[in-house]
Amino acid sequence: DGGITQSPKYLFRKEGQNVTLSCEQNLNHDAMYWYRQDPGQGLRLIYYSQIVNDFQKGDIAEGYSVSREKKESFPLTVTSAQKNPTAFYLCASSFWAELSNQPQHFGDGTRLSIL
């Protein structure tokens, strides 16, 4: 089955530690995205990538970094510079050229908590 796989489902971070969230898709989608979901707020875009080796900052990129070395993979690193990292992180993908009328497909998220 085609889809998006995020791992791990739960992740704990110590103060001053960087952690990396994995996102893999086998939908042959060009574009991939990372969102953050907090209680009572809509999803907020962290980073997105239209093609391999290219990515753009979203609305809340500070304290995060990404890479796009393969079309299928778009890992997100939450750095120690992110002072409030506790949240539910969602990865999504879509066909970029027809983004306007194509849905984004989401993974099942990673819940990050601070120890």
Partner 1 sequence: KNQVEQSPQSLIILEGKNCTLQCNYTVSPFSNLRWYKQDTGRGPVSLTIMTFSENTKSNGRYTATLDADTKQSSLHITASQLSDSASYICVVSAILSGTASKLTFGTGTRLQVTL
Chain residues that interact with partner 1, rule: CB under 8 A: 4, 6, 40-45, 90, 92, 96-109, 111
Q: Nearest distance from residue 26's CB to partner 1, in Å?
A: 15
User: Which CB sits closer to partner 1, 43 or 79?
Assistant: 43
Q: 74-112 b/e with 16+ CB inside 10 Å = b?
A: bbbebeeebeebebebbbbbbbeeeeeeeebbbbebbeb
Q: Nearest distance from residue 16's CB to partner 1, in Å?
A: 28
d(CA 39, CA 104): 21
User: Which CB sits closer to partner 1, 15 or 98?
Assistant: 98
Closest CA to 93 of 63, 60, 70, 65: 70
User: Which CB sits closer to partner 1, 43 or 61?
Assistant: 43
Q: Nearest distance from residue 108's CB to partner 1, in Å?
A: 5
